[in-house]
Every structure is written in structure tokens, then in C-alpha cells.
Amino acid sequence: MPEFAEVNLQVRYLRERCTGWPIASIGYEGWSHFQNLPEEGREAAIQEFFHNNTLEAITQKGKHVVMRTTKGTMLSHLMFKGRWSVAGDDFLSNYKQHKKPPTEKSNNFWLINPDGKRLNFHEPEYKGKITLFPKQSPGQVETLEKLGPDILILPETDPDLRQEWTVDGFLKALKRSKQPIKVFLLDQKRQAGLGNMYVCEALYSAGIAPQRPAQSLSDPEAKRLHQAARDILQAALDTDLDYDKILNVYRKEADPEGHPVEESDVGGRDTFWVPTKQS
């Protein structure tokens, strides 16, 4: 699933091309979109939202692409294979699901501006979703309010939702939790943007076993982990998702020093770690 860094590349692509777009028409198919709207009157509400509307700004919160419009907020969650792309100017990245141009068959939502340019949302599995929040700014959307602070604050971070992920806040939250530290880090309500891949890497870098109770971490360990999480996301952005450079244990047989990588199940997720280096 695209995590914070992968979503950020997508947001930057959209900001450069679609900020300020007037919306002339829309189209969609499938069942995954707009499920937050009441079923009765849903179609009328969708048409009203997009009629004479404009994409004013495109921002990010955690794993969400946030689109501010003159009539409210539109969110998209990419899930596993979702992506936005301007027709004729395909979005590509090193993320495994975004390396090749999207196909027209995978397009299940689109916006067209008055010049005829089309913004497409591609999701071949219909798991990615678009939700609408009429008359609400991003700071008023409950879905976003429930998320914890972003691991990194970037220019693309939504201004309504700029909450610093501080060491002190992280330490306090850890002391109250008996969850395995890996499960704790994956909880988007505690901190937003980390997914399975980067959590495995952060725990490896900090030398912490993924199954340890969160409250068992010492203050020095917690501070190392806090910095490691920030560092791995920043490295992903700085290298344009060069996974060969930034991934040391995720889906690897051995770490860079030759220590065997073990695959375990922690919280129902495949977990890659090095027992000889993480305790």
C-alpha cells in the first residue's frame, strides 16, 4: 500500500498540474466512491458538489490526498493500486504499482476541465475510494481529525492539519500502551503516514524488536525510534523512492551486514526484522 512518501509524490504531481482547475464535468463507475454520503439523494448530492466547482488546492494528510474545492473537501485514499493521473501526462513513480502507465480500463472516476483536460483516478481493484464532504474544510472533516500528527511536516501538508509529531507526545503515548510497538506505529490515529514497510525499517534502524510492548521502551529507545521513523520517510522522498538504497530488511533475506532477516507475524502483518540486532 502507498505510504506517506508514495502519497506525497502523487500530491506533488497533482499540485503542479491541477491546482486551480475549474470542473466542467465528471464521471465515475463502480461502487467504491462516495460511500460516506447518504444513499438516498446521493447522486443529486454528487452532481451538486461538482457543478461550478474548482480545485483550489491539493494537499496531504497521512495517506490521504486532500483536495480543497470551493464547495468543500474531496478526499482520496489510494489503498493498494490507486493513483491519479492527468490524461496524456501519466503519473509514474518507483512504487511497484506506479511504474507503468495506468490503463483506461482501470479508470473509474474522472474530472474534466473547460479546456478538455481530464484528471483520472485509476483503481483496478475498486478498493481505492473518493469521498466528498460538502461545505467542510479539511480541518472540519472527521475522517482527517481522527488521524494523529504526520510523521513529517512538508509544504504539501494541509494547513488545517499541521500538527507536529513531537518526541514528548510520542513518549507519553508509548507509556500508556501495552500494544506491540509495531502495532502501535501502524495505528494511524496515533501518528499518520507510517505503513508496514517503513515501520519495519524504522524498528530495524532503532534496534527495537517489533513485538515488544510499546510501554517497555526506554526514553532513549523511544527517541531513537522517533528519529528513525522520520529519517526513513525523508530518505524515501530524497531518493525518489529508490528502495534499493533505503530498504535494509523489508522482504530481504539478510540485512546489509549479512545478518539473517526473520519474517514473523506481528498484529496480523508480515514483519521483517533481525533478531541479532533488534531487542
pLDDT digits (tens, 9 = 90+) for 212-252: 999 999 999 999 999 999 999 999 999 999 999 999 999 99
Taking alpha carbons only, the member of 60, 74, 67, 82 closest to residue 20 is 67
Over residues 60-73, the pLDDT tens digits come to 999 999 999 999 99
* Joined grid coordinates for residue 144: 482527517
**4-151 — its CATH code?**
3.20.190.10
CB 5 within 8 A of CB 241: yes
Domain boundaries, the chain: 4-151, 167-273
Going by CATH, does the domain composed of 167-273 fall within 1.10.8.50? yes
User: Is 4-151's fold the same as 167-273's?
Assistant: no
Q: Do the Cβ atoms of 13 and 65 come closer than 8 Å?
A: no
Give me the residue label for grid cell 510520542. 170
pLDDT confidence tier of residue 1, bands split at 50, 70 and 90 = confident
Average pLDDT over residues 168-197: 97
- pLDDT 10s digits, 122-167: 998 888 899 999 999 999 999 999 999 999 999 999 999 999 999 9
pLDDT at 259: 98
Q: In this predicted structure, what is the pLDDT of residue 209?
A: 98
Strand partners, 269: 266
- Looking at every residue in the chain, the average pLDDT score rounds to 96
Which tens digits make up the pLDDT trace of 12-59? 999 999 999 999 999 999 888 999 999 999 999 999 999 999 999 999
- Which pLDDT belongs to residue 95? 95
pLDDT of residue 30: 82
pLDDT in the model for residue 239: 98
pLDDT attached to residue 31: 85
